[in-house]
Structure 1
């Protein structure tokens, strides 16, 4: 007899929740990607065989939701956590939702405004037109990820505007104040990009600018300590000497043709690591990168492709990096894919080291951050599953 009032109360509460949810027309979706493979990597210490995490897509799980506010306006949110499938550890500096965490308002007429931690506009609009952002994978990205082609960096404490598509044109703009009291010029980030689509062609371009924080003791910086931009420093020796840069500026452009069985693309990027009196290096280091790729859909389920990337480093130190990549991808279902990818990189010239010296340039594929010798090879065979 005592249980009856409790059951009635519980039924009433859940009923009210259900009515409120239906009235608000809200929805929440859980999603994720699991990606793992067996890999061979040539390192400076010898050959390495291991379980590779996130070759095609970074492992993640997340929640996204929206509520219809009427008049074409919606409240939206997304939180996304990255992790290592081999160990279960969190990625992105062990943040709970290190990949993305934002809330915003979206209008079908006026566009979307988001606030939180998120990808910058070049990643949103230019990256999908590169090999790393289409059929390819991390092995198709820029040596050392010096231009954030593999989006090593995300932006925290940011506000971003995303336009609706207007006659084939879409653009985005982001700003993230540094949050340093009395100094608007420390630690801020801003970025903008646009993409235009017409028939099988897409063209996109953007620019990203982030400023490091000042030294806390009035001397030299000890690294990249911006409160907004994570920085592009997951690529090993290629750019590790420039973590104390004052300004990091990246411009990217890409063109893609996608029709029938073919997807073909070319692109260019310029990444500048600019020094000031608090940097541990004296001269600006510039990385100019050109890229090209082609993918061919043999059947609706099977695709093969190749890519080439050339990066020239100059200014503080002079080096050259040549990447040749290839891959085969087979969709077992809409949610599961098998793949085999490989990259060979050759480096020449000299690099600045983190302690200020110079060394013969070392190959370092994409954002793996594991040095090779003058050359490096990686081969990965694996699968990913999404839900």
Structure 2
């Protein structure tokens, strides 16, 4: 009898262990904190003043998340990700009224056929073009974004109500597509989004391309379909340059069409890259404005030692269209960063960004504003410097 009980208990423990081995949940995150100096920021009393401030996410947004998978057999897994961005300075969510504001999705993944997921997710520009740009990586991040993050390479907003497919690699190729529903009866296209992209890796070369389109009937934040595909942002937005709201400009326009492509080449301890993106905004602010932004970025990274990484980039951005009053501004931005890895999970960094905008006419975009900085400059120039500590878990 005792032998039977022992045998039965052993069987139960073995089965429980086997069942546990078929599923997993992992806690992960990143904390980025530092001090940032800006030479000029507009104040409420007018004019511009220098500013020293403690910042959260100067390079990468601070976040924590849960990632899980369950093995279903035949190479098929059930997967999920729940990811929350937060401000380390005060402990608040980086996006109001959202616990998992960065990502929240569930789906199925197959080693042979790719992954199909549903929820709040990133678009094709973030997935395929951003990794080739310094702003989309740990080697530059938030402040290195193209002016006002007009192409979303810094992942300033995510897509709600989205269905997304990502393929596995086929001889170095990978592709994906996403559709974000408006969730509005009688307004199928009112604040919807769709996106796609591809990448190719071969030896020292990596290339990628992506496309993102937003459609909306809103012209002011009050008219926005707040259940639609894009409703908030965790960082700066083009809309923020013109009015004090966190709603991306693309959902206050009849359409935003953004496409981009990039290439990286690795040689020895260095990686050199070039990224081009183009964003077109149609009929925003009571149909009075329209415009385009073209971004040209050259970047390089160099591993000085296994622990020290240097990176730098130059971005030229040209705006077109009526820009508010016939103005066609253009931007020059120079960025540099040095990073020292203390351990596998912890590093310290120092970085700086200088931006100059050359306005034409009376464009409302005629002042400099480095992405992630609290307020724009009162002039056409702005300089930012940051030193910080980053820890991953």
TM-score, structure 1 as length reference: 0.88
Tell me, yes or no, if the aligned pair for 1:24 and 1:69 is still in contact at 8 Å. Answer: no
Residues paired across the two proteins, number:
363
Q: Deviation of residue 111 (structure 1)?
A: 0.6
Corresponding residue number in structure 1 for 2:259: 251
> Which structure 1 segments of 5+ residues have no match?
1-11, 353-357
Distance 1:28 1:174 in 2: 25
SS in 2 for 1:208: strand
Does residue 97 (structure 1) correspond to residue 108 (structure 2)? The answer is: no
Corresponding residue number in structure 1 for 2:300: 294
Corresponding residue number in structure 1 for 2:242: 240
- The runs of at least 4 consecutive aligned structure 1 residues that moved more than 6 Å come to 15-18
Distance 1:221 1:100 in 2: 23
After superposition, what is the alpha-carbon deviation per residue over 1:198-239, rounded to whole angstroms, capped at 9, x for unaligned?
101111111100111457xxxx77465461024678246775
Does residue 26 (structure 1) correspond to residue 23 (structure 2)? The answer is: yes
Aligned pairs for 1:112-131 (under 5 A) are: 112-131=115-134
TM-score, structure 2 as length reference: 0.86
SS in 2 for 1:365: coil
Segment drifting more, 311-320 vs 156-165: 311-320
What is the root-mean-square deviation of aligned Cα atoms in Å?
2.3
SS in 2 for 1:126: helix
Distance of aligned partners of 1:179 and 1:16 in 2 relative to their CA distance in 1, 3 Å threshold: farther
Corresponding residue number in structure 2 for 1:272: 280
Aligned pairs for 1:118-267 (under 5 A) are: 118-134=121-137, 135-214=139-218, 222=222, 225=225, 227-230=228-231, 234-235=236-237, 239-240=241-242, 242=249, 244-267=252-275
Segment drifting more, 70-79 vs 241-250: 241-250
SS in 1 for 2:148: helix
Equivalent in 348, 355, 358 of residue 345 of structure 1: 355
Does residue 303 (structure 1) correspond to residue 309 (structure 2)? The answer is: yes
Q: Deviation of residue 24 (structure 1)?
A: 6.6
Distance 1:37 1:137 in 2: 14
Distance 1:351 1:176 in 2: 37
> Which structure 2 segments of 5+ residues have no match?
1-8, 43-47, 244-248
After superposition, what is the alpha-carbon deviation per residue over 1:287-335, rounded to whole angstroms, capped at 9, x for unaligned?
1110001111110110112110111111022111110011100100100
Corresponding residue number in structure 2 for 1:3: none
Distance 1:238 1:89 in 2: 20
